[in-house]
Structure 1
């Protein structure tokens, strides 16, 4: 049965979890990789499909694919 709650319908359009861009720093050989966040901290993520030195999308602690190499800007408001 379809829900009539408009908020639930809207939430179903948005994927669960936040997607972040990381730089892969190492492949661990056990199905995980080391990744560097924008703030410089290192995390371990599931997946080895993206090469070392490349940017990747990570969602829910898992590599979802290669991210494009785009210029990065920071603005103070």
Structure 2
């Protein structure tokens, strides 16, 4: 197996987490990232208000809610 063969097995799109804010009539959803930006993605498999895993512009499934933690040193 060459490096190129191995590299093709790895995902090239990052796995992201966002909150679903709207389901659209065309089968897409609008999601919001922690920084406030919005993105329209394919799929409606996660309810509005739920956290979703996203990859390649598509909802891949529900994600656990992530609570920010602040550590003081």
Q: TM-score higher than 0.5 here?
A: yes
Aligned length: 71
The answer for the alignment partner of 2:7 in structure 1 is 11
Q: Secondary structure at the match of 2:4?
A: helix
Q: Which runs of 4+ in 1 moved over 3 A?
A: none
Q: Flag structure 2 segments of 5+ consecutive residues without an equivalent.
A: none
State the SS of the aligned residue for 1:8.
helix
State TM-score, norm by structure 1: 0.78
RMSD of aligned C-alpha atoms? 1.8
Separation (CA, whole Å) in 2 of partners of 1:32 and 1:56:
13
Q: TM-score normalised to the size of structure 2?
A: 0.82
Secondary structure of the structure 2 residue equivalent to 1:63: strand
Residue by residue over 1:9-59, the C-alpha shift from the partner in whole angstroms, topping out at 9 and shown as x without a partner, is 542442231110000000012110010011101110000110000000010
Q: Higher Cα Rg: structure 1 or 2?
A: 1
Q: What 5-or-longer segments of structure 1 have no aligned partner?
A: none
Distance 1:14 1:62 in 2: 18
